[in-house]
Amino acid sequence: MNSYTVSESKPDRSAVFWSILTILILLMVVCVAAGFLVIFTNPNSALNPFPPPTLPARALLPTSTPTNAVIPLPATWTATSSPVPIPTETPTPTSTLPPTPTPITLTPTPPFTPTPPPGGYPYEVRGGFPKAIENIYHPELGCDWMGVGGQVVDLSDAPVTGLIVRLGGRLPGVEIEENTYSLTGVALNYGRSGYEFKLADRPIASNNLLWIQLVNQAGVPISDSVYFSTYESCTQNLILIDFKQAR
């Protein structure tokens, strides 16, 4: 007979350890899940480490009870009427004719002529002026322009700027404003102290109806009023008038 030797196998200790550890982890997972479930269903549970804050008690508002207000009325009511006053007619005053106007005769006052200071004005017209020449400073306009211009110099023939030049008088068919001014030093075509006035858009003849005068910044005349004529000619549509200091 053959004899067989049967050996008993010993259990693996490492497998037993891991099996027990797995069971413990599962139990821990079940406990943690149960704890979360309890906290979720009841946040105020003792297991919740962060319980929600306690809400204040709900305020109760008093309820209003409607009451019927009784307004007492007078026992009897009697309508009263007030008489309407009748307007009285006021007699209309009779109209009085206005007095007959008395004609008044007005005596025209001659235009004011300033009295020259003792010794005369400090500026006067230079010799040879006024003179009429062709429009040489606006050649693009040609005969469609007429004006007056010039310059002012002192005793040494140096230009004097900043003086006011006043234009006055009348021109047939053209309205000249009462206060028309220019300034020495604004029309450099005539020199460093040049001035200029445009009179019309065409040459017009006139006989000493226009005048110019120098005044200082205070409006005081410093030259006499210089009257000049204009001409109906395209070769005489610029009137030159130069002033020079006399004293």
Domain count, the chain: 2
DSSP per residue over 139-161, as a string? TTTTTS-EEEEEEEE-TTS-B--
Is 65 a member of any domain?
no
Residue 9 in domain: no
Query: Would you say residue 88 lies in a domain?
Result: no
Is 58 a domain residue?
A: no
**Residue 229 lies inside a defined structural domain of this protein:** yes
Say if CB 238 and CB 134 are below 8 A apart.
yes
Range of the domain at 43: 14-49
Tens-digit pLDDT profile for residues 178-230? 889 999 999 999 999 999 999 999 999 999 999 999 999 999 999 999 999 99
In a shared domain, residues 136 and 31 = no
pLDDT 10s digits, 20-40: 999 999 999 998 888 888 888
Flag whether 78 is in a domain: no
Same domain, 138 and 34: no
More confident residue, 89 or 104: 89
Q: Report whether pLDDT(237) > 90.
A: yes
Where residue 129 sits, what CATH number does that domain have? 2.60.40.1110
In a domain, 113, yes or no: no
Condensed to tens digits (0 to 9), the pLDDT of residues 37-51 reads: 888 888 777 777 777
Q: Give the sheet arrangement for strand 164-169, strand by strand.
A: 180-183, 164-169, 206-215, 226-230
Specify if 185 maps to a domain. Answer: yes
pLDDT for the residue 184 = 97
Q: What is residue 238's predicted lDDT score, i.e. its pLDDT? A: 97
